[in-house]
Amino acid sequence: MVQERTLPVLQVEYVNITKEEGLLVYEDMVLGRFFEDKCAEMYYRGKMFGFVHLYNGQEAVSSGVIKAMHPDKDYVCSTYRDHVHALSAGVPAKEVMAELFGKATGCSKGRGGSMHMFSAEHHLLGGYAFVAEGIPVATGAALQSKYRREAMGDANPLQVSACFFGDGACNNGQFFECLNMAALWKLPILYVVENNKWAIGMAHERATSSPEIYKKASAFGMAGVEVDGMDVMAVRTVATEAVARARAGEGATLIEAMTYRFRGHSLADPDELRSKAEKEIWLARDPIKKFAAYLTEKNLVSQEELKEIDQKIQGVIDEAVRFAEESPEPDPSELYRYIFAEDN
Protein backbone atom coordinates (compact mmCIF):
# COMPACT_ATOMS: atom_id res chain seq x y z
CA MET A 1 0.00 0.00 0.00
CA VAL A 2 1.29 3.47 -0.93
CA GLN A 3 2.04 5.69 2.07
CA GLU A 4 -0.39 8.56 2.52
CA ARG A 5 1.04 11.88 1.41
CA THR A 6 1.35 14.80 3.77
CA LEU A 7 0.37 18.34 2.85
CA PRO A 8 3.12 20.07 0.86
CA VAL A 9 4.91 23.08 2.28
CA LEU A 10 5.49 25.84 -0.26
CA GLN A 11 9.21 26.64 -0.34
CA VAL A 12 8.91 30.13 -1.84
CA GLU A 13 7.70 33.41 -0.42
CA TYR A 14 4.03 34.20 -0.86
CA VAL A 15 3.21 36.76 -3.54
CA ASN A 16 2.36 40.11 -2.04
CA ILE A 17 -1.30 40.78 -1.36
CA THR A 18 -2.82 44.18 -0.63
CA LYS A 19 -5.65 44.83 1.78
CA GLU A 20 -8.08 45.24 -1.12
CA GLU A 21 -6.94 41.98 -2.73
CA GLY A 22 -7.10 40.16 0.59
CA LEU A 23 -10.66 41.32 1.22
CA LEU A 24 -11.62 40.33 -2.34
CA VAL A 25 -10.21 36.81 -1.93
CA TYR A 26 -11.74 36.39 1.54
CA GLU A 27 -15.13 37.56 0.27
CA ASP A 28 -14.93 35.12 -2.63
CA MET A 29 -14.12 32.20 -0.32
CA VAL A 30 -16.93 33.08 2.08
CA LEU A 31 -19.34 33.47 -0.82
CA GLY A 32 -18.48 29.96 -1.98
CA ARG A 33 -18.89 28.44 1.51
CA PHE A 34 -22.16 30.22 2.35
CA PHE A 35 -23.58 29.47 -1.08
CA GLU A 36 -22.87 25.75 -0.78
CA ASP A 37 -24.29 25.60 2.74
CA LYS A 38 -27.49 27.19 1.44
CA CYS A 39 -27.55 24.70 -1.45
CA ALA A 40 -27.55 21.84 1.03
CA GLU A 41 -30.47 23.42 2.87
CA MET A 42 -32.44 24.01 -0.33
CA TYR A 43 -31.72 20.51 -1.62
CA TYR A 44 -33.03 18.83 1.52
CA ARG A 45 -36.09 21.10 1.41
CA GLY A 46 -36.87 19.80 -2.06
CA LYS A 47 -36.03 23.01 -3.96
CA MET A 48 -33.29 21.32 -6.04
CA PHE A 49 -33.29 17.99 -7.81
CA GLY A 50 -30.83 15.54 -9.30
CA PHE A 51 -27.23 15.25 -8.19
CA VAL A 52 -25.68 18.19 -6.35
CA HIS A 53 -21.95 18.08 -5.56
CA LEU A 54 -20.74 20.67 -3.08
CA TYR A 55 -17.34 22.34 -2.83
CA ASN A 56 -17.04 22.96 0.93
CA GLY A 57 -13.40 22.80 1.99
CA GLN A 58 -11.88 23.42 -1.43
CA GLU A 59 -12.47 27.19 -1.60
CA ALA A 60 -8.77 28.06 -1.50
CA VAL A 61 -8.24 26.37 -4.85
CA SER A 62 -11.01 28.20 -6.72
CA SER A 63 -10.27 31.61 -5.20
CA GLY A 64 -6.50 31.18 -5.30
CA VAL A 65 -6.42 30.35 -9.00
CA ILE A 66 -9.30 32.29 -10.53
CA LYS A 67 -8.64 35.53 -8.63
CA ALA A 68 -5.06 35.42 -9.95
CA MET A 69 -6.38 35.56 -13.53
CA HIS A 70 -7.81 38.36 -15.66
CA PRO A 71 -11.52 38.56 -14.81
CA ASP A 72 -12.72 39.73 -18.23
CA LYS A 73 -10.50 37.80 -20.62
CA ASP A 74 -9.30 34.49 -19.22
CA TYR A 75 -11.27 31.24 -19.31
CA VAL A 76 -12.41 28.89 -16.57
CA CYS A 77 -13.45 25.29 -17.20
CA SER A 78 -15.02 23.28 -14.40
CA THR A 79 -16.36 19.85 -13.43
CA TYR A 80 -19.65 18.64 -11.92
CA ARG A 81 -18.54 20.42 -8.70
CA ASP A 82 -18.88 23.77 -10.43
CA HIS A 83 -20.98 26.22 -8.41
CA VAL A 84 -18.05 27.88 -6.67
CA HIS A 85 -15.92 28.05 -9.82
CA ALA A 86 -18.82 29.92 -11.43
CA LEU A 87 -19.02 32.33 -8.50
CA SER A 88 -15.26 32.96 -8.54
CA ALA A 89 -15.46 33.62 -12.28
CA GLY A 90 -17.96 36.39 -11.60
CA VAL A 91 -21.30 34.75 -12.36
CA PRO A 92 -23.79 36.45 -9.99
CA ALA A 93 -24.93 34.29 -7.08
CA LYS A 94 -28.58 34.82 -7.99
CA GLU A 95 -28.01 33.40 -11.49
CA VAL A 96 -26.18 30.37 -10.11
CA MET A 97 -28.93 29.76 -7.54
CA ALA A 98 -31.66 30.20 -10.16
CA GLU A 99 -29.92 27.62 -12.32
CA LEU A 100 -29.95 25.17 -9.44
CA PHE A 101 -33.69 25.81 -9.08
CA GLY A 102 -34.12 25.14 -12.82
CA LYS A 103 -35.41 28.64 -13.51
CA ALA A 104 -35.31 30.60 -16.75
CA THR A 105 -33.14 33.29 -15.13
CA GLY A 106 -30.36 30.82 -14.38
CA CYS A 107 -26.96 31.21 -16.03
CA SER A 108 -27.80 28.24 -18.30
CA LYS A 109 -31.46 29.28 -18.66
CA GLY A 110 -32.53 26.52 -16.31
CA ARG A 111 -31.35 23.83 -18.69
CA GLY A 112 -28.06 22.88 -17.05
CA GLY A 113 -28.75 22.53 -13.37
CA SER A 114 -26.04 21.80 -10.85
CA MET A 115 -23.53 20.06 -13.10
CA HIS A 116 -23.71 22.26 -16.20
CA MET A 117 -23.12 25.88 -15.25
CA PHE A 118 -22.15 28.04 -18.23
CA SER A 119 -21.70 31.73 -18.89
CA ALA A 120 -20.24 33.12 -22.10
CA GLU A 121 -20.26 36.59 -20.56
CA HIS A 122 -17.96 35.48 -17.75
CA HIS A 123 -15.81 33.14 -19.89
CA LEU A 124 -17.04 30.14 -17.92
CA LEU A 125 -16.71 27.25 -20.36
CA GLY A 126 -19.04 25.00 -18.43
CA GLY A 127 -19.39 22.36 -15.79
CA TYR A 128 -19.18 18.77 -17.04
CA ALA A 129 -20.86 15.70 -15.62
CA PHE A 130 -18.44 13.17 -17.10
CA VAL A 131 -15.05 12.83 -15.46
CA ALA A 132 -12.28 14.57 -17.49
CA GLU A 133 -14.82 15.84 -20.05
CA GLY A 134 -13.81 19.47 -19.64
CA ILE A 135 -10.07 18.92 -20.20
CA PRO A 136 -10.29 18.86 -24.04
CA VAL A 137 -12.65 21.86 -24.00
CA ALA A 138 -10.23 23.96 -21.96
CA THR A 139 -7.33 22.80 -24.13
CA GLY A 140 -9.27 23.94 -27.20
CA ALA A 141 -9.87 27.36 -25.64
CA ALA A 142 -6.14 27.70 -25.01
CA LEU A 143 -5.41 26.67 -28.59
CA GLN A 144 -7.76 29.29 -30.04
CA SER A 145 -6.09 31.94 -27.93
CA LYS A 146 -2.67 31.08 -29.34
CA TYR A 147 -4.05 30.67 -32.88
CA ARG A 148 -5.67 34.11 -32.80
CA ARG A 149 -2.38 35.68 -31.80
CA GLU A 150 0.05 33.75 -33.98
CA ALA A 151 -2.03 32.95 -37.08
CA MET A 152 -4.54 35.80 -37.16
CA GLY A 153 -2.33 38.61 -35.89
CA ASP A 154 -4.35 39.45 -32.77
CA ALA A 155 -2.22 41.94 -30.83
CA ASN A 156 -4.00 41.32 -27.51
CA PRO A 157 -2.21 39.37 -24.77
CA LEU A 158 -2.74 35.62 -24.71
CA GLN A 159 -5.89 34.53 -22.92
CA VAL A 160 -5.13 31.97 -20.24
CA SER A 161 -7.40 29.01 -19.49
CA ALA A 162 -7.72 27.36 -16.07
CA CYS A 163 -8.96 23.80 -16.27
CA PHE A 164 -10.16 22.27 -12.99
CA PHE A 165 -10.58 18.54 -12.48
CA GLY A 166 -10.25 15.94 -9.75
CA ASP A 167 -7.67 13.28 -9.00
CA GLY A 168 -9.95 10.64 -10.53
CA ALA A 169 -9.68 12.34 -13.93
CA CYS A 170 -5.92 11.83 -14.04
CA ASN A 171 -6.24 8.17 -15.00
CA ASN A 172 -8.35 9.03 -18.05
CA GLY A 173 -7.05 9.24 -21.59
CA GLN A 174 -8.10 12.86 -22.12
CA PHE A 175 -5.71 13.94 -19.38
CA PHE A 176 -2.65 12.46 -21.08
CA GLU A 177 -3.68 13.38 -24.64
CA CYS A 178 -4.34 17.00 -23.77
CA LEU A 179 -1.21 17.46 -21.69
CA ASN A 180 0.76 16.13 -24.64
CA MET A 181 -0.84 18.63 -27.05
CA ALA A 182 -0.47 21.51 -24.60
CA ALA A 183 3.23 20.75 -24.22
CA LEU A 184 3.81 20.38 -27.94
CA TRP A 185 2.09 23.66 -28.78
CA LYS A 186 3.05 25.60 -25.60
CA LEU A 187 -0.57 26.41 -24.88
CA PRO A 188 -1.51 29.07 -22.30
CA ILE A 189 -3.31 26.82 -19.82
CA LEU A 190 -3.27 25.80 -16.17
CA TYR A 191 -4.32 22.21 -15.52
CA VAL A 192 -5.50 22.35 -11.90
CA VAL A 193 -5.93 18.99 -10.17
CA GLU A 194 -8.12 19.35 -7.10
CA ASN A 195 -6.87 16.26 -5.31
CA ASN A 196 -9.42 15.83 -2.54
CA LYS A 197 -8.17 12.28 -1.96
CA TRP A 198 -11.39 10.51 -2.89
CA ALA A 199 -13.03 9.66 -6.24
CA ILE A 200 -16.54 9.03 -4.85
CA GLY A 201 -15.66 6.08 -2.60
CA MET A 202 -12.24 5.14 -3.97
CA ALA A 203 -9.21 6.49 -2.12
CA HIS A 204 -6.75 8.13 -4.49
CA GLU A 205 -3.79 6.04 -3.30
CA ARG A 206 -5.65 2.86 -4.28
CA ALA A 207 -6.66 4.09 -7.72
CA THR A 208 -3.38 4.99 -9.37
CA SER A 209 0.09 3.48 -9.67
CA SER A 210 1.68 6.92 -9.38
CA PRO A 211 -0.23 8.95 -6.77
CA GLU A 212 1.92 12.09 -7.07
CA ILE A 213 0.02 13.58 -9.98
CA TYR A 214 2.12 16.71 -10.45
CA LYS A 215 5.13 14.54 -11.32
CA LYS A 216 3.30 13.31 -14.43
CA ALA A 217 3.99 16.70 -16.00
CA SER A 218 7.66 15.72 -16.38
CA ALA A 219 6.72 13.07 -18.95
CA PHE A 220 5.69 15.91 -21.25
CA GLY A 221 8.45 18.35 -20.35
CA MET A 222 5.82 20.50 -18.66
CA ALA A 223 6.09 22.46 -15.43
CA GLY A 224 4.46 20.58 -12.55
CA VAL A 225 3.96 21.76 -8.99
CA GLU A 226 2.34 20.46 -5.81
CA VAL A 227 0.67 22.96 -3.49
CA ASP A 228 -1.26 23.02 -0.23
CA GLY A 229 -4.82 23.39 -1.48
CA MET A 230 -6.02 24.42 2.00
CA ASP A 231 -3.82 27.55 1.90
CA VAL A 232 -5.16 30.20 -0.47
CA MET A 233 -1.94 32.23 -0.34
CA ALA A 234 0.08 29.19 -1.41
CA VAL A 235 -2.35 28.48 -4.25
CA ARG A 236 -2.37 32.14 -5.28
CA THR A 237 1.44 32.20 -5.35
CA VAL A 238 1.68 29.14 -7.59
CA ALA A 239 -1.17 30.31 -9.83
CA THR A 240 0.26 33.81 -10.28
CA GLU A 241 3.54 32.35 -11.52
CA ALA A 242 1.78 29.86 -13.80
CA VAL A 243 -0.48 32.53 -15.29
CA ALA A 244 2.52 34.78 -15.98
CA ARG A 245 4.35 31.92 -17.70
CA ALA A 246 1.32 31.06 -19.81
CA ARG A 247 0.69 34.69 -20.79
CA ALA A 248 4.35 35.05 -21.80
CA GLY A 249 4.03 32.12 -24.21
CA GLU A 250 6.04 29.71 -22.06
CA GLY A 251 3.35 27.05 -21.99
CA ALA A 252 1.23 25.04 -19.61
CA THR A 253 1.56 24.16 -15.93
CA LEU A 254 0.13 21.16 -14.08
CA ILE A 255 -0.85 22.22 -10.55
CA GLU A 256 -1.80 19.56 -8.03
CA ALA A 257 -3.64 21.18 -5.13
CA MET A 258 -3.90 18.88 -2.11
CA THR A 259 -7.35 19.61 -0.69
CA TYR A 260 -10.36 17.95 0.91
CA ARG A 261 -14.12 18.07 0.55
CA PHE A 262 -15.90 18.54 3.87
CA ARG A 263 -19.11 16.89 2.66
CA GLY A 264 -19.84 13.62 0.88
CA HIS A 265 -19.26 13.15 -2.82
CA SER A 266 -22.76 14.49 -3.46
CA LEU A 267 -25.69 15.38 -1.25
CA ALA A 268 -27.01 11.87 -1.90
CA ASP A 269 -23.82 10.35 -0.42
CA PRO A 270 -24.03 9.38 3.28
CA ASP A 271 -20.22 9.71 3.43
CA GLU A 272 -19.65 6.54 5.41
CA LEU A 273 -16.43 5.42 3.71
CA ARG A 274 -14.13 8.11 5.09
CA SER A 275 -13.06 7.76 8.71
CA LYS A 276 -14.10 10.27 11.34
CA ALA A 277 -10.45 10.78 12.29
CA GLU A 278 -9.49 11.65 8.72
CA LYS A 279 -12.32 14.17 8.43
CA GLU A 280 -11.41 15.84 11.72
CA ILE A 281 -7.78 16.27 10.66
CA TRP A 282 -8.83 18.10 7.51
CA LEU A 283 -11.63 20.10 9.13
CA ALA A 284 -8.98 21.57 11.43
CA ARG A 285 -7.27 22.95 8.30
CA ASP A 286 -10.31 24.96 7.17
CA PRO A 287 -8.95 27.28 4.44
CA ILE A 288 -11.25 30.19 5.29
CA LYS A 289 -10.25 30.23 8.97
CA LYS A 290 -6.61 29.91 7.97
CA PHE A 291 -6.79 32.87 5.59
CA ALA A 292 -8.72 35.00 8.07
CA ALA A 293 -5.96 34.36 10.62
CA TYR A 294 -3.29 35.27 8.05
CA LEU A 295 -4.98 38.57 7.18
CA THR A 296 -5.36 39.63 10.80
CA GLU A 297 -1.88 38.48 11.86
CA LYS A 298 -0.40 40.58 9.05
CA ASN A 299 -2.54 43.54 10.18
CA LEU A 300 -4.07 43.78 6.72
CA VAL A 301 -7.64 43.67 8.03
CA SER A 302 -9.49 43.65 11.33
CA GLN A 303 -11.87 41.07 12.72
CA GLU A 304 -14.66 43.62 12.39
CA GLU A 305 -14.01 43.99 8.65
CA LEU A 306 -14.18 40.24 8.19
CA LYS A 307 -17.44 40.08 10.13
CA GLU A 308 -18.86 42.81 7.91
CA ILE A 309 -18.03 40.71 4.86
CA ASP A 310 -19.69 37.67 6.43
CA GLN A 311 -22.85 39.71 7.01
CA LYS A 312 -22.73 41.18 3.52
CA ILE A 313 -22.40 37.75 1.91
CA GLN A 314 -25.25 36.36 3.98
CA GLY A 315 -27.40 39.09 2.47
CA VAL A 316 -26.23 38.15 -1.02
CA ILE A 317 -27.18 34.52 -0.41
CA ASP A 318 -30.59 35.42 0.98
CA GLU A 319 -31.28 37.62 -2.03
CA ALA A 320 -30.13 34.84 -4.39
CA VAL A 321 -32.68 32.45 -2.88
CA ARG A 322 -35.46 35.05 -3.14
CA PHE A 323 -34.54 35.71 -6.76
CA ALA A 324 -34.52 31.98 -7.58
CA GLU A 325 -37.84 31.33 -5.88
CA GLU A 326 -39.55 34.25 -7.62
CA SER A 327 -38.10 33.60 -11.07
CA PRO A 328 -40.25 31.96 -13.76
CA GLU A 329 -39.92 28.41 -14.99
CA PRO A 330 -38.59 28.02 -18.56
CA ASP A 331 -41.41 28.46 -21.08
CA PRO A 332 -42.35 25.11 -22.68
CA SER A 333 -42.50 26.87 -26.06
CA GLU A 334 -38.70 27.27 -25.87
CA LEU A 335 -38.02 23.57 -25.37
CA TYR A 336 -35.91 23.32 -28.52
CA ARG A 337 -34.19 26.69 -28.17
CA TYR A 338 -30.42 26.90 -27.57
CA ILE A 339 -29.79 23.58 -29.28
CA PHE A 340 -28.20 25.41 -32.21
CA ALA A 341 -26.42 28.75 -32.40
CA GLU A 342 -28.66 31.75 -32.94
CA ASP A 343 -28.12 34.93 -34.95
CA ASN A 344 -27.35 37.90 -32.73
What is the CATH number for 196? 3.40.50.970
Predicted local confidence at residue 333, as pLDDT: 94
**Per the domain annotation, does 5 fall within a domain?**
no
Look up the pTM and report it.
Answer: 0.96
- Gap between the Cα atoms of 52 and 273, Å rounded: 19
Residue 338 lies in a domain: no
Total domains in the fold of the chain: 1
Question: For residue 110, which amino acid is it?
Answer: G
Q: Is position 339 within any domain?
A: no
136, part of any domain: yes
Residue 343 lies in a domain: no
pLDDT at 74: 98
Q: What is the mean pLDDT of the chain?
A: 95
Q: pLDDT tens digit string along 42-76?
A: 999 999 989 999 999 999 999 999 999 999 899 99
**Containing structural domain, residue 180:** 19-323
pLDDT tens-digit series, residues 224-266: 999 999 999 999 999 999 999 999 999 999 999 999 999 999 9
Cα Dmax for the chain: 58
Calculate mean pLDDT across residues 217-221: 97
In a domain, 228, yes or no: yes
Domain annotation covers residue 6: no
In a domain, 12, yes or no: no
Q: Check residue 7 and give its pLDDT.
A: 75
Phi, psi of 266 (to 5 degrees): -140, 175
If one counts every other C-beta atom within 10 angstroms of the C-beta of residue 284, the result is 10
The pLDDT tens digits of the residues spanning 85-125 come to 999 999 999 999 999 999 999 999 999 999 999 999 999 99
In three-state secondary structure terms, 227 is: strand
Are the C-beta atoms of residues 142 and 161 closer than 8 Å to each other?
yes
